């Protein structure tokens, strides 16, 4: 795997997936603060419906795993999240495509929601009631990106702003993971467990995702399925045509792919066999 030893002293370029993620989160944040200043009820309704609540998801609110990461609450937390997204996504986009970075972020976000759902279901089965605590924010996607950088580019050193010291990426990921584990023994255990889910999602992504990204994989699967369907249709049409030509007193033959075998081809096969 690639290893980069240079210390990262500045933010990466603002482009591609990095720009898309930051602008989408910024737009959602300003929508929420405008709603909060205009109508507190509308703000609470929107937050409640688009954050991730395991109870609500199990009752049919299936959009929440896809929307909760855009619910940013608080100026300080949002600023930290957006700066982290800029730094981590921009760094990864120097070595991977836009679709690859977006696929990594989406996978980490979905694994975060899955982890929150898992701890809720586990507590329900064990008879331990958890307080209603909706998941929101892009922390799961950020943790997934951080783990990926720690695994793929572990020797890269990053400055710990505002401290004038640097630390390798792999150690940042380890420390962040240990902090999440420590929070698991507090009242914020759902957030801690969900963050670990985001880390697992990032690790899972780099193990299965092709270099060109998930969209390339999906497009390849789609075209493969489409071509298989068309081949099946051609074979069915060939069989029907054979039956029809027999009824007309003529014989035609097709190969296994539904292509007609001419008499010349048939004679050539006999000659070489």
| 193-249 tens-digit pLDDT | 788 889 999 999 998 876 555 554 455 555 566 667 667 777 777 777 777 677 777
225 shares a domain with 141: no
Q: Longest Cα pair distance anywhere in the chain, in angstroms?
A: 90
The pLDDT of residue 258 = 61
Residue 1 domain-assigned? no
Tell me if 35 is assigned to some domain. Answer: yes
Residue 163 pLDDT > 70: no
pLDDT of residue 149: 92
Residues 168 and 240 in one domain: no
Structural domain total, the chain? 2
Decide which of 156, 175, 209 is a domain's last residue: 209
pLDDT at 270: 46
Which tokens hold the place of 151?
Answer: 């695994």
pTM, two decimal places: 0.71
Q: Is the domain of 82 the same as that of 166?
A: yes
Q: Is residue 2 in a domain? A: no
Residue 151 lies in a domain: yes
Q: Average pLDDT in the 97-126 region?
A: 87
Asked if 263 and 156 sit in the same domain, the reply is no
Mean pLDDT taken over the chain? 79
Q: Are residues 154 and 262 located together in one domain of the fold?
A: no
Q: Is 101 inside any structural domain?
A: yes
Does residue 40 form part of some domain? yes
Give me the pLDDT at residue 211, please: 55
Judge if 121 and 103 occupy the same domain.
Answer: yes
Residues of the chain above pLDDT 90, percent: 23
pLDDT tops 60 at residue 6:
no
Backbone region of residue 189 per phi and psi (left: phi > 0; alpha: psi in -120 to 50; beta: other values):
alpha
Q: Are residues 129 and 227 in the same domain?
A: no
Show the tokens assigned to 112.
Answer: 């975060």
pLDDT at 223: 55
Cβ distance 135 to 67 under 8 Å? no
Q: Is 248 a member of any domain?
A: yes
Q: Are residues 145 and 260 in the same domain?
A: no
Does residue 145 contact residue 88 with C-beta atoms inside 8 Å?
Answer: yes
Domain containing 172: what range? 7-209
Q: Which residue has the tokens 């993971």?
A: 177
Claim to verify: residue 150 and residue 82 sit in the same structural domain: yes
Mean pLDDT of 245-254: 72
pLDDT at 215: 53
CB 152, CB 234: distance < 8 Å? no
Query: What's the Rg (C-alpha) of the chain?
Result: 27
Cis amide bond preceding 45, omega within 30: no
* Candidate ranges 141-155, 158-172, 232-246, 247-261; pick with highest mean pLDDT: 141-155
Tokens of 50: 């688009």
Q: Are residues 186 and 260 in the same domain?
A: no
pLDDT of residue 220: 53
Report the pLDDT averaged over residues 245-257. Answer: 70
Residues 46 and 159 in one domain: yes
Which tokens sit at 75?
């100026």
Are residues 241 and 203 both part of a single domain? Answer: no
Q: Comparing 120 with 61, which gets the higher pLDDT?
A: 61
How many Å apart are CA 263 and CA 250, to the nearest integer?
Answer: 13
Cα atoms in the Cβ-side hemisphere of radius 13 Å centred on 59: 6
């Amino acid at each position: 795997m690639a290893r980069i030893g240079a210390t990262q002293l500045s933010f990466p370029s603002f482009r591609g997936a990095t720009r898309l993620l930051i602008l989408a989160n910024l737009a959602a944040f300003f929508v929420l603060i405008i709603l909060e200043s205009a109508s507190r009820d509308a703000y609470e309704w929107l937050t409640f419906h688009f954050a991730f609540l395991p109870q609500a998801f199990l009752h049919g609110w299936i959009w929440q795993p896809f929307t909760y990461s855009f619910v940013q609450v608080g100026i300080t937390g949002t600023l930290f999240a957006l700066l982290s997204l800029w730094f981590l996504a921009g760094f990864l986009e120097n070595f991977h495509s836009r679709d690859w970075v977006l696929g990594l972020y989406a996978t980490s976000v979905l694994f975060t929601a899955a982890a929150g759902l898992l701890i809720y279901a586990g507590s329900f089965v064990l008879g331990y009631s958890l307080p209603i605590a909706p998941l929101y924010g892009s922390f799961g996607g950020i943790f997934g990106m951080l783990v990926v950088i720690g695994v793929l580019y572990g020797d890269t050193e990053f400055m710990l702003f505002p401290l004038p010291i640097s630390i390798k990426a792999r150690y940042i990921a380890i420390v962040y993971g240990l902090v999440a584990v420590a929070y698991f023994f507090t009242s914020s255990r759902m957030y801690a467990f969900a963050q670990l889910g985001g880390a697992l999602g990032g690790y899972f992504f780099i193990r299965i995702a092709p270099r060109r990204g998930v969209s390339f994989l999906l497009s390849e699967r789609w075209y493969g399925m489409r071509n298989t369907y068309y081949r099946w249709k051609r074979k069915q049409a060939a069989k029907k045509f054979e039956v029809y030509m027999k009824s007309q007193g003529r014989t035609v033959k097709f190969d296994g792919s539904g292509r007609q075998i001419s008499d010349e081809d048939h004679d050539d096969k006999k000659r070489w066999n």
